[in-house]
Amino acid sequence: MGGFLVKKGQIMQVGYFMIVLLAVAFTILTMKYIINEFHAGVDEAGFNTTQIERAEQSIVVGWEMSDYGFLIVTIGLFMVLIFTSFMIPTHPIFFVINLFGMFFLVFIGMVTSNFYGEIVAGEDAVFSAEAETFTIMNFIMSYLPFVVAGVIFITSLVMYIRGRGQYG
């Protein structure tokens, strides 16, 4: 029974991994949209001074760097998952449950990836112009099922290799 709870915990952790990535991506796109609307409002109001234009350009450059921030968040969450998987002792017999959980999480990753795709490139996409500047974020979110499968595979290896010494 303890092994099943462990697997459920890993499934929840990878689910949180996907939810956090989606939330961060959505937040970045929303903020970029708000900033673009703000810049359009400033330009429309006629406040075009040299200082305001320089400030707008520095804000644009700063938001383009949030693409790398998204990559750092993804790698950081992956490292946390590896660490927590190392801390969980698991009997190798629960590997079968891990396979079923893996298929479920990859399916959830597909749904999440499709949801992000509809926000970015769907028929009524609100954030299509904003998403063009975030190539790393678009790549990770487009290939989220593959990223999740890789994360599950590596964390499962870490979990079962550590557990082998205790049970084998």
> DSSP class of residue 49?
-
The single residue listed with the structure tokens 């082998």 is 164
The pLDDT score that the predictor gives to residue 26 is: 92
The predicted pLDDT at position 113 comes to: 92
**Whole-prediction pTM:** 0.80
**How many CB atoms within 10 Å of residue 101?**
20
In the chain, the N- to C-terminal Cα span, in Å, equals 19
CA angle 50, 56, 61 (to 5 degrees): 125
Per-residue pLDDT 10s for the chain (168 aa) are 444 444 556 778 888 888 999 999 999 999 888 888 888 888 787 777 788 788 888 887 777 788 899 999 999 999 988 888 777 766 666 777 777 778 888 899 999 999 998 888 877 777 888 888 889 999 999 999 999 999 888 888 887 776 555 554
* Length of the chain as a residue count: 168
- Please name which of 143, 141, 135, 129 lies closest in space to residue 66, comparing C-alpha atoms: 135
Whole-number Å distance between alpha carbons of 127 and 124: 9
CA dist., res. 32 & res. 45, Å (int): 20
